[in-house]
Structure 1
């Protein structure tokens, strides 16, 4: 099978196309012929690595798992003898989690993984791009205990997490202000944002409004600039927090009793199925910006790392 590997840390050019032996599923595993995967911020940050502390968890001198990629869609083409949830021919989508391995034509995963049946209303590209941003947004929203008619401002609203957060917070009844570049105003309004502003407007002295939730998706605004717009008793969410931000946030939470959410998310099958239901009934839309063939993974990483994508970038593996 074809795979894309990162044999060492570095720029997108470290990514290489290789031929590997197709794996066979263990007793509790299914093998998935991958149709699509996606490229997201977690992928390029691991590859780079950014922050350098990534090495402590994923490999000091090189990645222990050289095949990146955390979200997939495809078809089950083999099952282990103890598998009961899936059968050959099932169309599925979901997350590979910390196992990664999605930049490949096939993958074996335990049937207990965060994977589920792909609804007929969803395409394979939508299935492959939904998990990362949407599961991240949903988990942080749940941690906020967001209530109907509360106000939320989403910084980096045209990102993968941001486009999901707009739709989910509107679904839960919030009043949403989206912060993005002017060229993306129409996109975020089409997803349900009640108000829009650009980054210059967010940071301007005339912007003195406060919000129940400040939801920072992209790690590009400082904690003090976000706290300036947080209502007393509100929640600050730092999706793209650096380790420095996390230490600062933990100290502020401890000393000033401000509720700041950051750190890894919990990917659950329950949340994946919830998102699938919203997509089936038309409440939720997966935003796809660009698609690339597997062989153009370097170009895909260059584009995503540049930080200007709208929503998600999909990789076509099986045509």
Structure 2
């Protein structure tokens, strides 16, 4: 079968499109014929090691410990191990494989059944592949850390990217009043996703507007922590899920200390996939409350180009990898 392999850290040129052995499922695994996958910031950091912590936290000091990239997949179950109970051959599924060895950028992949849920019938494989990591990250940040409530004023900073587009819709599903922050070209998209208010960050700094928010979710976080704190209501919460490393580290190292003064909570999100959370997202997809945004599609053989585009940092929604030739 064809698969993408990353034998060393580096630029997208380090990726290799190779013929490898088709995997065989273990007793507790499912073999999936992959129809589509998607690129996440997780993949970018694992490839480039631009965040040195990737090497220190199990990624491999000198080269990737796991050379098989790709977390988000959607496909059809081809075979199951004898201990698998939730799925059978022919089931259409999607999931996040980051806790199960990854390997989603391939024609076939094996994974544990608890990494998967059934694909919604109203979603294409490409749409489903765009969902798992980004949507669950947004859910964890808003619901679990941010403790979002109906009628709260919620601001999504970085509302046009993979996590941000899901965050806008998930926040609306909880009944919040949502303000989306993005660039000029993405304002209309944010409105279409359900944002009640939009702010063009090239024209306005929301941290200096005087408006206060009950919850700020930073899918991209480029302001100092003190600026975010200024924009919170007296009991507000700030959650950072992505963006500049300096802001993420600041929230991780100083957030607890800053949360002890003034009643405002400052937190950095650490998110791990859970089957029950992806199943919750599946319900939102089936109900039409959440729809994935796909910017571009690339065939598996063009993963290098897909990563180059993703690395520019301007993707609107998700970049999807297909197992068939695709128009960009």
- 1:140–1:265: structure 2 CA closer, same or farther, 3 Å change rule? same
Structure 1 unaligned segments of length 5 or more: list them.
none
Other-structure match for 2:221: 219
- The equivalences for 1:221-300 within 5 A come to 221-240=223-242, 242=245, 244-245=249-250, 246-254=252-260, 258-300=264-306
TM score, norm. by length of structure 2: 0.92
- 1:280–1:205: structure 2 CA closer, same or farther, 3 Å change rule? closer
Large movers: runs of 4+ above 6 Å: none
Other-structure match for 1:161: 163
Q: Secondary structure at the match of 1:112?
A: helix
Other-structure match for 2:21: 21
Structure 1 residue 287: Cα displacement: 0.6
Contact kept? 2:208, 2:231, Cα under 8 Å: no
Alpha-carbon distance in 2 for matches of 1:204, 1:77: 50
Whether 1:45 and 2:45 are equivalent positions in the alignment is yes
Other-structure match for 1:95: 96
Structure 2 unaligned segments of length 5 or more: list them.
none
Whether 1:125 and 2:100 are equivalent positions in the alignment is no
Alpha-carbon distance in 1 for matches of 2:33, 2:257: 46
Q: Secondary structure at the match of 1:232?
A: strand
Alpha-carbon distance in 1 for matches of 2:190, 2:6: 34
Structure 1 residue 206: Cα displacement: 5.5
Alpha-carbon distance in 1 for matches of 2:84, 2:175: 40
Contact kept? 2:229, 2:264, Cα under 8 Å: no
Alpha-carbon distance in 2 for matches of 1:318, 1:34: 11
Structure 1 residue 257: Cα displacement: 5.5
Alpha-carbon distance in 2 for matches of 1:249, 1:132: 24
Whether 1:314 and 2:315 are equivalent positions in the alignment is no
Aligned Cα root-mean-square deviation (Å): 1.7
Alpha-carbon distance in 1 for matches of 2:52, 2:23: 31
Contact kept? 2:207, 2:230, Cα under 8 Å: no
Q: Secondary structure at the match of 1:197?
A: strand
Alpha-carbon distance in 2 for matches of 1:254, 1:205: 21
**More off after superposition, 219-228 vs 162-171:** 219-228
Structure 1 residue 159: Cα displacement: 0.8
**More off after superposition, 280-289 vs 188-197:** 280-289
TM score, norm. by length of structure 1: 0.95
Q: Secondary structure at the match of 1:89?
A: coil
- 1:60–1:205: structure 2 CA closer, same or farther, 3 Å change rule? closer
Q: Secondary structure at the match of 1:290?
A: strand
Alpha-carbon distance in 1 for matches of 2:242, 2:82: 41
Give the number of equivalent residue pairs.
318
